Structure 1
Amino acid sequence: MTASYEVPAGVPVEEAEFAGLLPATRRALLHRLATGQAEGRTPSLVGAVMRDGQMVWSAGRGDVGGEVPGADTQYRIGSITKTLVAVLVMRLRDEGLLGLDDRLGKHLDAPEGGDATIAQLLSHTSGLAAETGGPWWERTDGALRPELADIFGERPQRHVAGRLHHYSNPGFALLGALVERLRGEGWYEVLRREVLEPIGMERTTLAPRAPHAEGWAVHPWADVLLPEPAVDTGRMAPAGQLWSTAADLCRFAAFLSNGDDRVLTAATLAEMRAPETEPQGPDWSGAYGLGLQLTRRDGRLLFGHTGSMPGFVGTLWVSPEEEAAAVVLSNLQSLFNTPAITADLLRTVAEHEPRIPQPWRPLADADTALLELTGPWYWGAAPFTLRLGAGRALRLAPLGGAGRGAAFRAEDDGTWTGLDGYYAGETLTVVRGADGAVSHLDIGTFVFTREPYEAGGAVPGGVDTSGWR
């Protein structure tokens, strides 16, 4: 049951529209947002929090057209657009129209980048240049680059494909063109029909629709503003064109958290969140998946994306641990620290109102053959436990904390596939003897037995016949 609270005196109605959080939590969130807007000298700022699939708080600061902005005010979201384009590409993969290991040139007559795989383009490991050839594409009309070949400069390939992470805006222009090639229509029309409409993101558009913020630059040494252009970037649009709202991005965050079988399954979204690149930065706190940024803040692993265009900066972070997300959108031309504010909103909710776990419930059915697999196992002399979960899932965990654990997904052929850690992608096979009884587990040739170095021929290299001594 949703709690109901009286709106404190002086609190705007739009700020208290959602009663899912306690008054003290809402005030702490508002304080962080207000501090960020004031200290960052930002013309306007909107923040929102999603929890358990619903937007539970939003607030705005500053001025948009003489009004305080709200969760329905549009801002340009910049590179958050890339995650939406990545969803389209993964839909094509799930439909069997392409493979992530396919080279782009197999599907698209690309002027550059054709040797890169689809996965490399999604994860910014294609080696393509970070930006287009001049002039700066974010502030100039896309008519200057009418064809794909026009987006590249003299040195389009800066690194060998697959060697390292190098962020590439032109790479996502190519992915947008790939969607158009395989769907036979414009990428945004495909996005609207296949993603935005099913999720309910009615205020996410290619061009701004009122109410929307104007983009501004703030003078570094005086409190005065300069308007920024908001051009149609044409071929580069899949890299950062879209406009959206805090409310729509909360809906998108709920989708990224739980999936929607009309768009993408939860399993595919989990695949997108897996790091495709090495952690970035001196503190190894960030990496990149398939169209998703990964970062570690306050001990939590977050995923989502940041975005900027002239006059706009925004961030969407999702915390799987908290089943929550936060969005911050602003109209300021600066690398203003919206990622930190967004992470702080998540931390505030987690600290003020720790997530209450779902009630434990027994499995709907229990297969005796699977129950037989649970309990202690040994890799050599190292002890592990194997637990059974819903959907015939298994989880291997070391006893004592040291060792290689992993979750495993059941496959139709009676095996299991590792989902994380050292065993990600590896196959777990239950090996049975001639009498049908379980002999051991084989995980990528690693043998697990019921006793430490169990005699009987299962352990590779054999076991000393004189036994333990």
Structure 2
Amino acid sequence: MTTSQEELLPATRRALLHRIAVAQSEGRAPSLAAAVVRGGRSVWHGSRTCEDGPAPDENMQYRIGSITKTFTAVLVLRLRDEGLVDLGDPLEKHLPGTGVGEATIAELLAHTGGLAAESPAPWWERTPGSLRPRLRDVLGEQPFVHPVGRRFHYSNPGYSLLGALVEEVRGASWEEVLSREVLEPLGLHRTGVRPQAPYADGWAVHPWADVLLPEPAEDLGRMASAGQLWSTTGDLARFAAFLVRGDDRVLSAGSLLEMRTPAAPPEPADVATGYAYCLGLEIRRSDGRLLLGHTGSLPGFLACLTFSVEDDVAAVVLANCTSGPLMSEAAADLVRIVAEAEPRIPEPWRPLREVDPSVLELAGQWYWGTRGFALRLTTDGLVSLEPLSGPGRRSRFRADGDGTWTGLEGYYAGELLRAVRRPDGAVSHLDVGSFVFTRRPYDEGSPVPGGVDPEGWRGIG
């Protein structure tokens, strides 16, 4: 990924700088650094600092806290893609003896494994990891606080278990596997489990006075896979580009799409904000825009990485204070500023290079009962089915190679679409997950469930 500061208009760059300046000033952060990615490339970097001299650049390390979980999730999805684990496997199958092995890998990724939010006292973020040398020390005597699989409950120990899973299956430390399989291929040379100069010191800012207190920077030990990493705006910009586009050396675009799909039911308080959790990624709605990514915090540090797939814009914001700037709001605003000031220019429309006549004849208008739908062929080789007007069930379908198509989203995700033909070869109807779509409303010549009244359509009187 190359860097080009000139790609954004001067007014856009100033608006971005103004937004982080407000975040640093009002949030009273000793320093704050940010980056914006568009089209898979870093296009802007900005920073503010309370100190005299140069402000942090894109190579200044900060702790990124729970953004680490996204890296761990990528490692687990790699295991799945290689056939070494299945997301539906109970943890016990691969990591026996934890006492919580009934939770599945997917449930741990989505924080629905029923585990406690934190490890037993003392607070793991401000104490050495040597106090918790074994998984049983991380989990405690009562690791479950909810039934397995029933609700979303954010769990740091759950991601400690996933790190241990990676170690067990790979036969190497989580740190080694992460470096070899993610950091090196993506060129994230300034990301790691320990700080390397230049790096920011972590501070607590007094809530009622403009004074500072240094925060300890502990090695988290067994909890490393939940929040250990240090990184930079430059490296996280590259990581954000990867999360949008994929990289077959690390994880395919298809597996990243799976990571970006909500996997946990939102809590009632989150429904109004549109927040949900995926597989190592958070998803939320902001100003009508769907944003994915992850926040992070450790004593002395705050972090946020967020991106909009539709706008193809991502933002990273890092600060070295325990509390202060509202990082998710600042990052969302950086995405919004670019997306609104310089909207994404769509790719040129291009026709299909070739088309199967038996598929082309399916294009056009169909009816489910009396509701009109359109089936379209698109240049990406998919077919889409959507209402002719208003809201309703819509989905794209991928060809299976045997005359059927599989739904990719919405109500029809995973459901089959097939064209049912009469003995003479003419299309009778579409079967979409058992629903019959006909060329005319309640077509008497098609097998409409329940049949069609033989007297046909009529008036009242």
Q: Scaled by the length of structure 1, what TM-score is found?
A: 0.94
Name the residue aligned to 1:7.
none
Structure 1 residues 282, 99: closer, same or farther in 2, change over 3 A? Answer: closer
- 1:417 matched to 2:414: no
Name the residue aligned to 2:193.
206
Name the residue aligned to 1:293.
282
- 1:113 matched to 2:100: yes
The RMSD of aligned alpha carbons is: 1.7
Name the residue aligned to 1:397.
386
Q: CA deviation at 1:118?
A: 1.0
Which of 231, 234, 238 pairs up with 2:221?
234
Q: CA deviation at 1:65?
A: 9.5
**For 2:6, what is the secondary structure of its paired residue?**
coil
- 1:463 matched to 2:452: yes
**For 1:390, what is the secondary structure of its paired residue?**
coil
Give runs of aligned pairs for residues 436-455 of structure 1, distance below 5 A.
Answer: 436-455=425-444
**For 1:81, what is the secondary structure of its paired residue?**
helix
Which of 168, 178, 184 pairs up with 1:197?
184
The one-letter code matched in structure 2 to 1:222 is: A
Distance in 2 between the 1:314 and 1:65 partners? Answer: 23
Q: CA deviation at 1:466?
A: 1.8
Q: CA deviation at 1:414?
A: 3.2
The one-letter code matched in structure 1 to 2:297 is: S
Distance in 2 between the 1:421 and 1:298 partners? Answer: 22
The answer (yes or no) to whether the contact 1:110–1:174 under 8 Å persists in 2 is no
Q: CA deviation at 1:432?
A: 2.2
- 1:373 matched to 2:362: yes
The one-letter code matched in structure 1 to 2:85 is: L
- 1:34 matched to 2:34: no
- 1:86 matched to 2:73: yes
Name the residue aligned to 2:315.
326
Which of 96, 99, 104 pairs up with 2:86?
99
**For 1:19, what is the secondary structure of its paired residue?**
helix
Distance in 1 between the 2:414 and 2:284 partners? Answer: 23
**For 2:137, what is the secondary structure of its paired residue?**
helix
- 1:362 matched to 2:351: yes
Structure 1 residues 64, 185: closer, same or farther in 2, change over 3 A? Answer: farther
Distance in 2 between the 1:31 and 1:284 partners? Answer: 26
The answer (yes or no) to whether the contact 1:317–1:325 under 8 Å persists in 2 is yes
The one-letter code matched in structure 2 to 1:93 is: R
Give runs of aligned pairs for residues 302-313 of structure 1, distance below 5 A.
Answer: 302-313=291-302
Structure 1 residues 271, 162: closer, same or farther in 2, change over 3 A? Answer: same
Deviates more, 1:234-243 or 1:381-390: 381-390
The one-letter code matched in structure 2 to 1:148 is: L
Name the residue aligned to 1:129.
116
The one-letter code matched in structure 2 to 1:214 is: D
Distance in 1 between the 2:399 and 2:370 partners? Answer: 27
- 1:252 matched to 2:239: yes
Structure 1 residues 335, 184: closer, same or farther in 2, change over 3 A? Answer: farther
Distance in 2 between the 1:113 and 1:429 partners? Answer: 43
The answer (yes or no) to whether the contact 2:350–2:379 under 8 Å persists in 1 is no
Distance in 2 between the 1:251 and 1:364 partners? Answer: 33
Report how many residues are paired.
455
The answer (yes or no) to whether the contact 1:64–1:212 under 8 Å persists in 2 is no
Distance in 2 between the 1:444 and 1:464 partners? Answer: 24
Q: Scaled by the length of structure 2, what TM-score is found?
A: 0.95
Q: Deviations over 1:231-287 (max 9, x none)?
A: 110110000000111111111111111111111111111111111122342514200
**For 1:369, what is the secondary structure of its paired residue?**
helix
The one-letter code matched in structure 1 to 2:416 is: T
Name the residue aligned to 1:343.
332
Structure 2's unaligned 5+ residue stretches are none
Structure 1 residues 198, 156: closer, same or farther in 2, change over 3 A? Answer: same
Name the residue aligned to 2:59.
72
Q: Deviations over 1:59-117 (max 9, x none)?
A: 11105795310111111110000011101111111111111111111111142321111
The answer (yes or no) to whether the contact 1:73–1:213 under 8 Å persists in 2 is yes
Identity, in percent, stands at 62
Distance in 2 between the 1:90 and 1:185 partners? Answer: 17
Distance in 2 between the 1:71 and 1:35 partners? Answer: 19
* Runs of 4+, deviation exceeding 4 Å: 63-66
Which of 205, 214, 221 pairs up with 1:218?
205
Which of 250, 253, 257 pairs up with 1:263?
250
Q: CA deviation at 1:439?
A: 2.0
Name the residue aligned to 2:149.
162
Distance in 1 between the 2:193 and 2:75 partners? Answer: 16
